[in-house]
Amino acid sequence: MRTVSLILCLLAANTATAAASAADRVPETIVVTASRIPVPLSTVGSSITVIDREQIERRESVFAIDMLREVPGVAISQSGSIGSQTQIRMRGAEANQILVLIDGIETNDPAGNAEFAFENLGAWDVDRIEVVRGAQSGLWGSDALAGVINVITRQPDEELSVSGFGEGGAFNTWSAGTRISGALLGTRAGLSVSSIDSDGSNSSRTGSEDDGYRNRTASLSVDGSPAGNLDLEFNGRYSDIHKEYDSIDYLTGLPHDTLDETDMSLGYFGAGGTLRLMDDRWIQSLRTGWTHSDTDDSNESGANGSTKADRYALYYQSTYYFTPASHDSAGNALTVAVDHEREEFSQHGTPTVWGDPNQDQSERNTALIAEGLFSPLARVSVSLSIRHDNNSSFENVNTYRATTAWASETTGTRLRAAIGEGQKAPTFIERYGYFPGQFTGNPDLKPEHSTAWELGIDQAFASIGASVGFTWFHANLEDEIYGYAFDPESFQTTATNLPGTSKRRGVELTGMAQLSPGLKVSATYTYTDATEPDAVTGADVREIRRPRHAGSLGANWSSPDGRMELDARLSYTGSRNDDYWPPSFIKEVVEMGAYKLVSLAATYRLNDATRIYTRIDNLFDTSYEDVYGYNTPGIGAYAGLRFDF
């Protein structure tokens, strides 16, 4: 982290020369996730990171998860080979406390413990990722207790365009994709398809059997304006996935070579319309959404159970602008919205002496949301939101969020603050899930509740093309759901609400500098202290798989003629605790060591339409585990070609 300190000191020494505002030189970024309506980034009081298409292409990575490793406050856990279960924890929160959207469609899987399967998200058709940290339930509901990740795919072009890529490399991995886009009779459409095939690597510590992965994904976007003030759109995405994995050997409590496999289909579909009235001062939208997952598991003995889930959604939103938005102001606006969702969950398997897993469950939720955006003074922005959720399974709940931001035009300084209340409803798995001999759900669980706040400062140095940022965050969580409690009736584990308070607190640092016209460097550092009450003693203990220290360094260089580009990334993950269940079934807490990962990418443009590239992941062949007992891939080299016409 000495490099980070050097950059921060260098930038601080130049504060006096930052009289010119960064906003005067760089177009204002508009974000769509930090509020119910699009707003300029400078007006946002919450911490937000935006990953754009240019950054994605620099990395030359097939998976979107590789870009998220460098986001402050984010910790990633991968349980094995390419395509194995990959979880994100944000600011010490649980993986199912982050809402994930793709083109505005909620994608958290009701049958997957309300988590999003990040290992299946390819980067080929991704145009932009917005990561909003902190309690966002007052805007987006239960899944957004700790934050929101919004994936925005590449939208249709006005003129006909065709692009594609092909790549091959380590672990017998082959990836390819193509995209065609254009407009006809006032309607724009874009179709993308991609494929990933890999033999993978061995996920267990012992044996030699590799765990392969296959992903076929197609996405379609269509939009048009049948009237001057009416916009219609459709977004659909479907993935067919096959993955192999190693299950736990109960004689050792560790994974071992098995022939376990999962076949799954994932579908995300949404359609809607936006009507603009009164010279665009009154904007109304109506959208529908459907999220679908179907998962079948098997092992050496054949079929081993299945789950299925559907979420049907209808959203109405109305916004009135009392004063219009501008490049540095969200204006003065009031938004009211109604969100209605129905979720259906089913689990099927073979009954055993332990019980019968076959079941069908459902619930519905209707929410009323109001958000006000205000600019009481020049370059001062305030947002206030409240949300009322009426759930068929739990008591009604109210949440809120309040933020403020102030930006100085002369010094490039931005101060921001946010506070909010979050809530997370127990998932179908936590309430009703059943895994014979292992876990039985608890239908009496209560929702989790949190209060979170943050304070931050961002400083831009326009004269040297640099910026730094600092955020201090704190969250208290009540009734945290613990999924490994002993059930004396079934002699299996179950889920329970912990007494006491779980605490998540820490700081985030960011730095960026354009050292020369062709060289840009960046750095991040996060300190996280996440504790929960011990299920037995009640004493505060560290939550598992949350590193106290994490950080990243990045550098991108392009040649003066723009034909050659080099990208280097280093990510650091500090030591973490994890739970280990030996044959005695008495839990042990183990420590996983810190590790560094280095990746390199080089791109050469043959002409304006075609470029070749190579990428090396885990350059120094670091051996590490994100989940105790599960090996992760070693060094891997890849080469490919991209074209755009």
Helix (H), strand (E), coil (C) string for 119-159:
HHCECCCEEEEEEEECCCHHHHCHHHCCEEEEEEECCCCCC
Tokens 């540095």 locate to: 328
Inform me whether the pLDDT recorded for 6 exceeds 70: no
- What domain range includes position 155? 2-644
Q: Tell me the per-residue pLDDT of 315-345, one tens digit each, with 9 for 90 and over.
A: 999 999 999 888 778 889 999 999 999 999 9
Tokens 């050097």 locate to: 6
**pLDDT over 90 for what percent of the chain?**
86
Which residues are CB-contacts of 84 (< 8 A; sequence separation ≥ 6)?
78, 119, 203, 211, 213, 243, 245, 630
In angstroms, the Cα distances linking 606 to 55, 556, 559, 602, 644 are 20, 19, 14, 13, 12
Q: Tell me the per-residue pLDDT of 385-427, one tens digit each, with 9 for 90 and over.
A: 999 999 999 999 999 999 999 999 899 999 999 999 999 999 9
From 233-237, 513-517, 579-583, 614-618, the region with the lowest mean pLDDT: 579-583
> Across residues 556-569, what is the average pLDDT?
96
Give the number of other CB atoms < 10 A from CB of residue 176.
Answer: 18
- Structure pTM? 0.94
Inform me whether the pLDDT recorded for 18 exceeds 80: no
Res 23: pLDDT: 34
Which residues are CB-contacts of 561 (< 8 A; sequence separation ≥ 6)?
none
Pairing of strands 588-592, 86-90: unpaired
Question: Cα–chain-centroid distance for residue 71?
Answer: 10
- Specify the number of domains making up the chain: 1
Inform me whether the pLDDT recorded for 21 exceeds 80: no
Cα(292)–Cα(109) distance, rounded to whole angstroms? 8
Query: What is the CATH number for 278?
Result: 2.40.170.20
